[in-house]
Structure 1
Amino acid sequence: MNRLKTLVIDDEPLARKGLAIRLQAFEQLQLMPECKSSREAVDIIIENKPDLIFLDIQMPGLNGFEVLKAVQEKGHELPVVVFVTAYDTYAIKAFEVRALDYLLKPVDDDRLAECVNRVISEHQTVNDEHQEKLISLVAEVTGQDTHTLLQKLASGESITADQYPEYIAIKDSGEITRVAVKDIKWIDAAGDYMCIHAGDDTHILRRTMKELEQDLNPKLFQRVHRSAIVNIKQVEKLCNQQNGEYHLQLKNGQKLKVSRSYKDRIKQLILS
């Protein structure tokens, strides 16, 4: 039996190790040493030519789509790809209608078995069309043509769909917490990290304010300061202080400073 050379790519050590251990149960798969970074993944795919990769989408450096693009740009064929994501956003809806597959973190055992069995059963029928699906797949769900999509990736722009996620996934010490966007009250910056205040909890996320803005519906979430975003539904009132500065008071009593450049936009959203 020809076993499929299988590579797990994920920057989170526990997630990577946990998936690799469970994949060892499938005798049709030949596990390669795990890969901990997206840039390392490009070289490994080119040099070792795995048949199958489990590829995390959100990674520092290059995201999962950019890994595939980098391999293609160097003139090499892509392996069969199973995307792994903690973000149930644009990717999932696209993968459901293709021969490719995805796994949502934390990965369910039954879902993993279903995925592996599908890959194994379809491996013999994989042909040249598979190479084209990986990018056209993303183009379809984002509503962009392939040429535009590749240009955005090359320039470092983010790829987003015409929809917003219901959850934000937060990695911390090997665990992944899915925070409902509707529960977020406000977000503020703390150095290189974002503090997401949802319900009675505060979650720490290593992303930029700009990236978070792109994932949040602008009709509900508004930047009020260079280091703060607020859920408009949580705003109780906009206050004008004696020194001419403005601040928002949220329903829980929290006060947030409003920059002058955002004042008019905040007023418009509160009154609408």
Structure 2
Amino acid sequence: MNAEESRPKICVLVVDDEPLARSNLTVLLRLDPEIGTVRECGSGAEALAEIRNSKPDLLFLDVQMPECDGFDVLEMLGGDLPPAVIFVTAYDQYALRAFEVGALDYLLKPFDNVRFERALSRAKERIAKRRSSPPTTEWLAVKSVGQVAFLKISEIDWIEASDYYSCLHLGTKTHLLRRSLSELDQELDQTLFCRVHRSTIVKLDRVRGLKLNESGEYEILLDNGTQLRLSRRYRKQLQSRLRVHGSDGP
């Protein structure tokens, strides 16, 4: 068995609300011996569930779909994005946005076999690289004012709950993410972030001290001057993460 035969097959998901468009891509994909499972979804909402369940290596994603478009899908996936994402659409005005949110390629319908093979080749290269060196999640996709932006997780100072959303604080800027605080608490690196209140998560390297307020409760002091309430429920967890010891600790 040669190296190519021993590599795991590539799992692909094709998302488009037009059955013929999905079928055309599926036919082309199944001609490639490196492609394994090819699944199809006809809506963004269906795609979200399928991506989280099957975790495809490669995603072909239509932009314009009813109720939940391609950019909505990427935002709601957060850190669950497949290694390679290729947008497929009949509209060229979305190309810049596609690359801004991390798409690997942008196939403009109608495309020929040569153009498709070029995009697929790039995807296979990226997937091979990811498999040899799996990355950690380094960003979050956030939709605001009609666009999607990637925010570096390393630049987040703290996060607060905002109803069913989460508000990310990065310096003087804030971004509203369509994810619950509980979801983020499960996904974020626990060596870097800590839940300190039912409505608050902090980045540990931003913590500069603890202050006892007038009511006898501790507040967390961040390096940018922000003060956050420390809940009794999460006190020991923060103490452990910060390696705070001694009778004077919280």
- Shorter-chain TM range is 0.5 to 0.7
Alpha-carbon separation, structure 1, partners of 2:80 and 2:164: 26
CA distance in structure 2 between the aligned counterparts of 1:105 and 1:224, rounded to whole angstroms: 38
Secondary structure of 1:51's aligned partner: helix
Q: Is the 8 A contact 1:88 1:165 kept in 2?
A: no
- Residue 164 to residue 210, structure 1, CA distance change in 2 (3 Å): farther
Equivalent residue for 2:209, pick from 212, 215, 237: 237
Contact 1:196-1:203 within 8 A present in 2 as well: yes
Residue matched to 2:239: 267
Relative to structure 1, the CA distance from residue 105 to residue 182 in structure 2 (aligned partners, 3 Å threshold; closer, same or farther) is farther
Contact 1:90 1:163 in 2 (8 A): no
Task: Give the CA deviation at 1:210.
Answer: 1.7
1:111 aligns with 2:89: no
Match 1:167 to one of 139, 154, 162: 139
How much is the aligned-residue C-alpha RMSD, in angstroms? Answer: 4.4
**What secondary structure sits across from 1:263 in the alignment?**
helix
Match of 1:258 among 224, 227, 230: 230
Query: Which secondary structure state, in structure 2, belongs to the residue aligned with residue 262 of structure 1?
Result: helix
**How far did residue 228 of structure 1 move?**
0.7
Does the 8 Å CA contact 2:98/2:106 hold for their aligned counterparts?
Answer: yes
* AA at the equivalent of 2:25: L
Q: Which amino acid aligns with 2:48?
A: G
Residues 119/90 of structure 1: CA separation in 2 closer, same or farther (3 Å cut): farther
Q: What code does the residue aligned with 1:185 have?
A: D
Q: Does 1:197 align with 2:169?
A: yes
* Alpha-carbon distance, 1:256 to partner: 0.7
Once residues 255 and 236 of structure 1 are traced to their aligned partners in structure 2, the CA distance between those partners, rounded to angstroms, is 10
- Which ranges of structure 1 fall in alignment gaps of 5 or more residues? 1-6, 10-34, 36-43, 71-79, 96-100, 123-136, 142-161
Q: Using the alignment, how far apart are the partners of 1:68 and 1:188 within structure 2?
A: 25
- Hey, what does 1:25 align to over in structure 2? none
Indicate conservation of the 8 Å contact 1:164/1:215, yes or no. no
Percentage of pairs with the same residue: 26
* Structure 1 residue 192: Cα displacement: 2.2
Whole-Å Cα distance in 2 between the matches of residues 259 and 68 of structure 1? Answer: 32
1:52 has 2:25 as partner = yes
Contact 1:89 1:164 in 2 (8 A): no
Alignment partner, residue 155 of structure 2: 183
Moved more, 177-186 or 212-221: 212-221
1:66 and 2:50 aligned: yes
Q: Structure 2 unaligned runs (5+)?
A: 1-13, 27-39, 62-69, 88-94, 119-126, 245-250
Which residue number corresponds to residue 82 of structure 1? 60
Show the counterpart of 1:210: 182
2:33 — aligned with what?
A: none
Equivalent-residue separation in structure 2 for 1:206 and 1:68 (angstroms): 16
Change (3 A) 1:256 1:111: same
The alpha-carbon distance between structure 1 residues 184 and 50, as it changes in their structure 2 partners (threshold 3 A), is: same
**TM-superposition CA deviations, 1:26-55 (whole Å, max 9, x none):** xxxxxxxxx4xxxxxxxx75x9974338x8
CA shift, 1:245, in A, is 1.6
2:60 is matched by which residue type in structure 1?
A: V
| Distance apart, 1:235 and its partner CA | 0.4
Quote the residue 2:65 is aligned against: none
Q: Deviations over 1:233-253 (max 9, x none)?
A: 100112233433221010111
CA gap 1:121/1:211 in 2 versus in 1, 3 angstroms: same
Aligned length, in residue pairs: 179
Distance 1:68 1:212 in 2: 15
Contact 2:15/2:22 (<8 A) preserved = no
Aligned residue identity for 1:52 = L
Displacement after TM superposition at 1:269 (Å) = 1.3
C-alpha separation between the residues in 1 aligned to 2:52 and 2:208? 46
Provide the rounded CA distance (Å) in 2 between the counterparts of 1:255 and 1:175.
Answer: 31
